[in-house]
Amino acid sequence: MKNVLLSLVLVCIVQISFGQIITITAGDMPVAGDTLRYSTALGATSGINVNDSGTNKTWVYDTMKPILQTLDTYKFAATVNIAFVLTDLTAYGYKIADSIPGLGTLGAGLSIKNIYNFFNKKTSPDRYLAEGIGATVTTALGSAPTAASYSDPDEIYYFPLTYPHTQDSSSFAININLATVGSLKRQGYRKTTVDGWGTIKTPYYKTATNCIRIRSEIHEIDTINIPLLSLNLPLVMDTIEYKWLVNGGHYPALWVTQSKHTSVLTSVTYRDSLRHGVLSVNNQPQLSWQAIQAYPNPVTKGDMHLVIPADWSDFTVLVYDNTGRVVADFKNKNQFNVNSLSSGKYILLIKCNNNIGISQIAKQ
């Protein structure tokens, strides 16, 4: 009994001396009216070790250099556009992109612009979730504001969050009707656990600040269906998110995204203040899409070569089969051997920062 009491006392002393395990609740999430600024850093130069987890950690990432700043303004869905009113009038969110580039190449006069994600807080149980999407959809028949609610909401967090926290698992699904053109469908699941606690320092949190770390595995299938073009293309995206959360932050102190298929950090953002001389935008930076040439195409055996833009020095290539499954991936190589691929058609997705390249190949 004395040993047990002594252990408890020692644990308390350690927490008081070196940090404190905090609890994250719904009150630490964004609210309508928030204007949250964050900076983006290059993953390759951030010095972040995503495997550094556990108890009483000291995460020091205060030398990150911002290459871009973003300001998200959270608004009620009805104030963005009355047509965006979802099943719950309390839903709120921010613009995630001005448009989805590249859809025009699919024909049918298709474009999707002014895209918003809407969120909400729910009780019984307490949770923070993605509730819907709103956008302006243009087809050959004209433009119209379009909103869609998740048929299966995406529960991002269940509260309270503290360490240790057992794994939460939730599915999600949403279907966006594209008028007479077709549909966009998103479905998948996320598994979240609190895998560490300690203190963090960033360019914004200059002094060590108590935090917990969240790790989420996300499996997502995005399917675009356009019957007129006989197109039913599923893309599978498996990512891992790491978030360092602090009390009252409303935005993660640090948010890192990693491809599950590679060790590449695909996104590094952190809560920040206004920094002069850094490019600033009012929503997520727009991706730049372009076609990537592959040859020989079709290919029977041996190597296939990709014509990668000369300024793409750090890129990742994912090879999808016709079911949307990743069958190969590699980094910073402009050629790959196709001998292990079965006969059929494949989609290549090449990502370099905010640049996306796409190519379709055939293996005979």
More confident residue, 87 or 360: 360
- Strand pairing report for 54-60 and 182-201: parallel
Question: Which one-letter DSSP state was computed for residue 334?
Answer: S
CA-CA distance, 142 to 119, in Å (whole number)? 28
User: Which pair of structure tokens corresponds to residue 316?
Assistant: 């990742």
Band (pLDDT 50/70/90 cuts) for residue 1 is very low
pLDDT by residue (tens digit) across 32-45?
Answer: 999 999 998 877 67
Q: Which residues contact 277 (CB under 8 A, 6 or more apart)?
A: none
Domain ranges of the chain: 18-281, 288-363
CA-CA distance, 135 to 209, in Å (whole number)? 37
pLDDT by residue (tens digit) across 107-130?
Answer: 556 777 888 999 999 999 999 999
| Alpha-carbon distances of 2 from 5, 9, 12, 16, 318, rounded to whole Å | 5, 11, 15, 21, 58
Phi, psi of 27 (to 5 degrees): -65, -15
Fold of the domain built from segment(s) 288-363: Immunoglobulin-like (2.60.40)
pLDDT > 70? residue 297: yes
- Count other Cβ atoms within 10 Å, centred on residue 9: 10
The average confidence (pLDDT) of the chain is: 83
pLDDT by residue (tens digit) across 243-277?
Answer: 999 999 999 999 999 988 777 788 899 999 998 77
pLDDT > 70? residue 6: no
Question: Which one-letter DSSP state was computed for residue 355?
Answer: E
Band (pLDDT 50/70/90 cuts) for residue 229 is low
User: Which pair of structure tokens corresponds to residue 215?
Assistant: 């790790």
How many separate helices (H) and strands (E) can be counted in the chain? 2, 23
Whether the bond into 164 is cis, omega within 30 of 0: yes
CA-CA distance, 317 to 338, in Å (whole number)? 14
